[in-house]
Structure 1
Amino acid sequence: MRVHGEVSDDEAAVAVVGETVPSSPPPASVVQPLVVGYALTKKKVKSFLQPKLLALARKKGIHFVSIDETCPLSEQGPFDIILHKLTSKEWQQVLEDYREEHPEVTVLDPPNAIQHLHNRQSMLQEVADLNLSNGYGEVCAPRQLVIMKDPSSIPDAVAKAGLTLPLVAKPLVADGTSKSHELSLAYVEASLPLLDPPLVLQEFVNHGGILFKVYIVGETIQVVRRFSLPDVNTYDLGNNDGIFRFPRVSCATNNAEDADVDPCIAELPPKPLLEKLGRELRRRLVLRS
């Protein structure tokens, strides 16, 4: 399962870019390679296809082959797996057509499932609907409100929904672009009309300035600690327009693995709770990885 459309380095491994696959069946004594076709942005290719991962893939007999977007997908391959990170409607249609023609190929993940993740409202609502708790803790979501347009209507909408300031404002669409990562913290009612819809407003919960990013691939779980928005009581709330803007919060450069923070805040979430969360979200979101 990919929680933010991310691809873990432990996922499926990688092989030489552009390497071709034998057209004739290999001898019985030869293990047939696993062919992974990838359609990624240049940025993702640079960050994902690292030499160490390429070397590991070669040892495992896994071949990563670049998909040419300018050529029909049906004329490329054959593939065992297609790994993609493109969001255009044209690409989504190409991939859906290919899935119908080649149901034997695993697509990570189906476009309709990823579209569900691109909407922060629907994504977080699945978490809220879980009402997940066990002996290790519980998983819940802050109350939220979606504003599609007309920023002048935000104060009335917030009051009607009974939300309590401060509020975190997040772009409704989470498509991996820099704009989709821009967050704002609004703590004065007069600042609400300055926000830019469409967006999701969520009640802010103090959490010690630390967040945990959870990567789940199959049954493997990896948790990393990142710096997050600081508690609101650390701000000087009287010296601006009532809005704090943050370009990006949970990126890798905000790594907090070695930070000197309160052990109670830094303690990783219990693995049994994360395992149950992963299973439930994979089922609800129809994700395969």
Structure 2
Amino acid sequence: MRSRVSNMVPRRKFIGCWFSAKKKKKVNLEKLRAIVESHGAILKEIDFSKTMKAQEPFDAIIHKMTDRMIEAMSGNKRAEKNIKDVENYLENHPNTVVVDPLPSIRKLLDRHETYKLIKGTKLCLNGTLHIPTFAYITSRNEADILEQMRANSVEFPFVCKKSVAHGSASHKHNTRTSTSYGNQKFAEFSQYQDMNRQMSIIFNKEGLKDVDPPCVAQTFINHGALLYKIYVIADKYHVVQRPSLRDFSKDSLKDHKTIFFNSHDISSGDSSRSKLTTPDEEDVQIAPPLETSAIDAMTKELHNELHMTMYGVDIIASIETGKQYIIDVNVFPGYDGVPDFLDTLMNHVMKKLEPQTNGISARKQNGSAKTALIKPLMKTRSNNNDTNCHEEPPLKKSSRNGVISAKNKQAR
């Protein structure tokens, strides 16, 4: 009798996780472990030297496997084996909650593909949001580059970004020739791991010699040196204002030398204003306020496209037209300036682990179904010292390091 009773006691949930060594520090793995344990669950780090089956059970998996996925796509056999093992495990365990599904993440590993996806969304097609014109560059030949620019309406100045959108290779300026890299977007990824992470701004034909294919050329939009980072966590989003590249006048384009920069030095949580992000006094222009109705629409639309829980979107607003542009989408970003994001994440995971009562499987809720995780969002504001949410009118000019939070309201 005792044995029958003991068998009815539900076991504790096991939450698997995998992050790179750098991401572990960023996430604060020990804090995540404590939060998981506070929910009565156990955090289990995934060990890629063993099979997933040897480490089971996994009731949920939280991860950022982008580096590993890119290595697999570049031909790294061990990484290929690791990712295939994870995919097989998830296929055989459809009720395991995954944050986030690998097929969804794979859509964001290449900037050109990401930009095409965004350009095709309803919010861009109907003019709610925009994306700067862009072109995929595969050649160092000036005539070829100019033709690609013309065909895709890319203008000077433009930002030159590596095709690999995540991991150590995504922000690098590579000095190798195009013949050694060829047209393989992920080739020789592991050989670039220790190089400086850089992008560039190219102002004129003279600067085309600095184009580093394969890359994406994205028209630069003057935006008042202000970047809005939209951090999505489950059914909430937060808007954090960050420094960004200063504006450039048309008169400066003709003779301006190429500028190389590290995007993490420009707009990361611990970056400060520099010469590159501080406008000249005579050129100071205030970026338009962010339209939260557009952000509400964006989070809903991107969920329909991506079925993801943890991602970030970088948005700028043109000082000339007021139009708002998406310039990047990031998998599981740093969430700098966002209070208690790990608590929000775990609350979401634990809710999805609750027994299903309406016949919808955990796998459907995790991304296979079209059901939106992100409901219409209420505009609210907070700062680092005040996490209480309260209703606010549309966002207005505020501190450039401010944090604006939004949480979901009941679906109509």
Using structure 2 for the length normalisation, give the TM-score: 0.56
Q: Equivalent residue of 1:162, what SS?
A: coil
Contact 1:154 1:193 in 2 (8 A): no
Counterparts of 1:48 and 1:26, CA distance in 2: 36
Counterpart in 2 of 1:75? 54
Counterpart in 1 of 2:220? 204
Aligned letter for 1:127?
Answer: I
Counterpart in 2 of 1:20? none
Q: Could you list the runs of 5+ residues in structure 2 that have no partner in the other structure?
A: 73-79, 172-196, 311-412
Counterpart in 2 of 1:286? 307
Counterparts of 1:83 and 1:255, CA distance in 2: 31
Q: 1:147 to 1:218 in 2, by over 3 A?
A: same
Aligned letter for 2:46?
Answer: I
Aligned letter for 1:93?
Answer: K
What does the per-residue CA deviation read over 1:221-244, in whole Å, with 9 as the maximum and x for residues that have no partner?
11111111111139976876x311
User: Which residue of 245, 249, 257 corresponds with 1:229?
Assistant: 245
Q: Equivalent residue of 1:265, what SS?
A: coil
Contact 1:95 1:111 in 2 (8 A): no
Q: Structure 2 matches for 1:93-242, cutoff 5 A?
A: 93-132=84-123, 138-152=128-142, 153-177=144-168, 179-180=170-171, 182-233=198-249, 242=257
Contact 1:151 1:197 in 2 (8 A): no
Counterpart in 2 of 1:272? 293
What does the per-residue CA deviation read over 1:97-141, in whole Å, with 9 as the maximum and x for residues that have no partner?
1111111112222222211101111212222222427xxx93110
Corresponding pairs, count: 258
User: Which residue of 241, 250, 255 corresponds with 2:267?
Assistant: 250
Using structure 1 for the length normalisation, give the TM-score: 0.77
Counterparts of 1:27 and 1:48, CA distance in 2: 36
- Give the root-mean-square deviation of aligned CA atoms: 3.2
Contact 2:200 2:261 in 1 (8 A): yes
Q: How big is the shift at 1:260?
A: 11
What does the per-residue CA deviation read over 1:51-76, in whole Å, with 9 as the maximum and x for residues that have no partner?
54444333222432111110011111
What does the per-residue CA deviation read over 1:171-201, in whole Å, with 9 as the maximum and x for residues that have no partner?
1111221543522111111211321001111
* Mean CA deviation greater in 49-58 or 66-75: 49-58
Counterpart in 1 of 2:27? 48
Q: How big is the shift at 1:255?
A: 6.5
What does the per-residue CA deviation read over 1:7-40, in whole Å, with 9 as the maximum and x for residues that have no partner?
xxxxxxxxxxxxxxxxx99776x77544221111
Q: Equivalent residue of 2:221, what SS?
A: coil
Q: Could you list the runs of 5+ residues in structure 1 that have no partner in the other structure?
A: 1-23
* Mean CA deviation greater in 150-159 or 77-86: 150-159
Q: What is the percentage of aligned positions where both structures have the same residue? A: 26
Counterpart in 1 of 2:405? none
Counterparts of 2:50 and 2:106, CA distance in 1: 24
Counterpart in 1 of 2:39? 60
Q: 1:149 to 1:237 in 2, by over 3 A?
A: closer
Counterparts of 2:251 and 2:199, CA distance in 1: 16
Do residues 85 (structure 1) and 52 (structure 2) align?
A: no
Counterparts of 1:238 and 1:263, CA distance in 2: 22
Contact 1:151 1:195 in 2 (8 A): no
Q: Structure 2 matches for 1:3-22, cutoff 5 A?
A: none
